[in-house]
């Protein structure tokens, strides 16, 4: 049985065949295929998702949202068909948004239509010879890919934070050698999109490429780099000290958690955010982020300072700018083979 990993984003789906190379490594076989939802002849360019808070309260899906959802479904089926995926295939699928309790559908999504019966509808179309997985978190799968790809940034390290920026922001953790979903750690740490600055601006705007591109028309690159650096500082602090209200969040977060006093070995930037920070356009943002990290860590608690400061600046070797754009696809297939402990 062949295995296809499908990374469904807010604007497109990407897919590839993936094989297990050895007990710790998975690799893509052949090309990565991509399809944009907007290329479907019936795509509604005027579609605007209803308010996210109303979605969380189960606002009924109207006809326009249902039609747009059907286009997403058809696009996924079309990319499966490119791999002859209707026959003897296991399909592992990640999508953004809030998943249903059985992880078979999407009950809320900021940047697209809700699809509460997505997996059931896909399975009906695929038939009995192929199988569709439950929906995985696109954020979590980036971390899994960084762990199980031969070029992955999470390999051979114990403690790391992953932040990938595209249309939205993907957060990931590896602590004490174990991959940890932000959903499972939600009692003590918040996702980037939940965090807000004093003026109620979501940190997702400062860490996703769709957000940064908008902000660059309103704010300086130094301002963006400052807030991005403060986000990384919050991650360092929340893991080492526990949550301390460094940003606004609209829910209770506990200070206590089982990984306190853990210092991150690596901070990994991924996806289009990493490409931007490596580019000429992103130079000022990256430089200001590093200055912000340096200024904070120089004044921090001794263990934090000694761990992150090298020659009076933030140790650049603690930062990895990953070029593994295929991380979520590889991660999807690896997740179908393993539990959350990759050791």
Mean pLDDT of 84-104: 88
Q: Which long-range contacts (CB under 8 A, 24 or more apart) does 53-59 make?
A: 55/98, 55/107, 55/108, 55/109, 55/114, 56/98, 56/107, 56/108, 58/107
Pair 167, 297 in one domain = yes
Mean pLDDT of 104-133: 92
Mean pLDDT of 306-335: 97
On the question of pLDDT at 341 being above 90, the answer is no
Pair 20, 169 in one domain = no
Can you give the CATH number for the domain in which 240 is found?
3.30.420.40
pLDDT digits (tens, 9 = 90+) for 195-225: 999 999 999 999 999 999 999 999 999 999 9
Pair 163, 283 in one domain = yes
Mean pLDDT score across all residues of the chain: 94
Domain boundary among 83, 108, 137: 137
Mean pLDDT of 35-40: 97
Asked if residue 237 is part of any domain, the answer here is: yes
Pair 175, 248 in one domain = yes
Asked if residue 9 is part of any domain, the answer here is: yes
Domain boundary among 112, 137, 162: 137
Q: What confidence category does residue 144 fall into, taking pLDDT thresholds of 50, 70 and 90?
A: very high
Asked if residue 166 is part of any domain, the answer here is: yes
- pLDDT at site 84: 81
- Over pLDDT 70: what percentage of the chain? 98
Distance of CA 321 to the CA centre of its chain: 15
Rg (CA), the chain: 20
- pLDDT at site 22: 86
Domain boundary among 137, 163, 198: 137
Pair 185, 228 in one domain = yes
Pair 111, 177 in one domain = no
Mean pLDDT of 325-330: 96
Pair 179, 205 in one domain = yes
Longest dimension (CA), the chain: 61
- pLDDT at site 272: 96
Residues with Cβ < 8 Å from 203, sequence gap 6 or more? Answer: 169, 192, 193, 195, 196, 197, 227, 231, 247
- pLDDT at site 47: 95
- pLDDT at site 87: 76
Identify the domain containing residue 119 by its residue range.
Answer: 2-137
- pLDDT at site 286: 98
Pair 95, 176 in one domain = no
Give the integer Cα–Cα distance in Å for 214 and 306. Answer: 37
Asked if residue 336 is part of any domain, the answer here is: no
Asked if residue 330 is part of any domain, the answer here is: no
- pLDDT at site 340: 47
Total domains in the chain come to 2
| CA separation, residue 181 to residues 52, 99, 162, 207, 257 (Å) | 22, 14, 11, 19, 14
Number of Cβ within 10 Å of residue 265's Cβ equals 17
Q: Of 66-75, 93-102, 261-270, give the lowest mean pLDDT range.
A: 93-102
On the question of pLDDT at 300 being above 70, the answer is yes
- pLDDT at site 343: 45
Q: What confidence category does residue 337 fall into, taking pLDDT thresholds of 50, 70 and 90?
A: confident
pLDDT digits (tens, 9 = 90+) for 255-264: 999 999 999 9
- pLDDT at site 339: 56
* 10 vs 243 pLDDT, higher one: 243
Give kind and range of the element (H or E) at residue 294. helix 283-298
Give the integer Cα–Cα distance in Å for 299 and 283. Answer: 25
Asked if residue 246 is part of any domain, the answer here is: yes
Pair 132, 231 in one domain = no
Count helices and strands in the chain by DSSP H and E runs: 11, 14
Asked if residue 33 is part of any domain, the answer here is: yes
Asked if residue 201 is part of any domain, the answer here is: yes
| CA separation, residue 183 to residues 80, 104, 169, 180 (Å) | 28, 16, 14, 8
On the question of pLDDT at 111 being above 90, the answer is no
- The closest alpha carbon to 341, from 72, 122, 147, belongs to 147
Pair 98, 172 in one domain = no
Pair 160, 264 in one domain = yes
Answer for the pair 301, 194: CB distance below 8 angstroms, yes or no: no
Pair 158, 131 in one domain = no
């Amino acid at each position: 049985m062949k295995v296809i990993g499908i990374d469904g984003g807010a604007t497109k789906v990407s897919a590839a065949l993936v094989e297990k190379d050895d007990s710790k490594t998975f690799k893509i076989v052949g090309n990565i295929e991509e399809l944009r939802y907007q290329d479907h002849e019936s795509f509604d360019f005027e579609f605007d998702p209803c308010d996210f808070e109303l979605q969380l309260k189960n606002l009924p899906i109207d006809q326009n949202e249902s039609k747009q959802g059907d286009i997403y479904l058809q696009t996924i089926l079309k990319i499966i068909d490119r791999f002859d995926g209707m026959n003897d295939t296991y399909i592992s699928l990640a999508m953004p948004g809030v998943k249903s309790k059985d992880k078979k559908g999407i009950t809320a999504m900021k940047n697209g239509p809700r699809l509460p019966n997505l997996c059931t509808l896909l399975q009906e179309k695929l038939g009995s010879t192929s199988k569709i997985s439950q929906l995985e978190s696109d954020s979590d799968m980036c971390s899994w890919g960084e762990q199980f790809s031969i070029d992955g940034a999470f390999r051979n390290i114990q403690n790391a934070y992953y932040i990938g920026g595209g249309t939205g922001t993907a957060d990931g953790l590896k602590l004490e050698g174990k991959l940890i979903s932000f959903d499972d750690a939600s009692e003590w740490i918040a996702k980037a999109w939940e965090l807000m600055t004093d003026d109620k601006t979501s940190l997702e705007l400062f860490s996703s490429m769709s957000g940064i591109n908008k902000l660059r028309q309103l704010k300086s690159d130094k301002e963006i780099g400052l807030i991005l650096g403060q986000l990384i500082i919050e991650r360092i602090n929340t893991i080492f000290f526990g949550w301390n209200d460094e940003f606004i969040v609209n829910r209770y977060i506990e200070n206590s958690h089982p990984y306190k006093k853990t210092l991150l070995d690596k901070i990994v930037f991924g996806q289009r955010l990493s490409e931007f920070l490596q580019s000429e356009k992103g130079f000022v943002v990256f430089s200001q982020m590093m200055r912000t990290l340096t200024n904070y860590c120089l004044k921090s608690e001794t263990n934090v300072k000694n761990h992150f400061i090298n020659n009076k600046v933030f140790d650049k070797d603690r930062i990895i700018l990953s070029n593994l754009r295929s991380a979520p696809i590889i991660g999807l297939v690896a997740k179908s083979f393993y539990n959350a402990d990759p050791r």
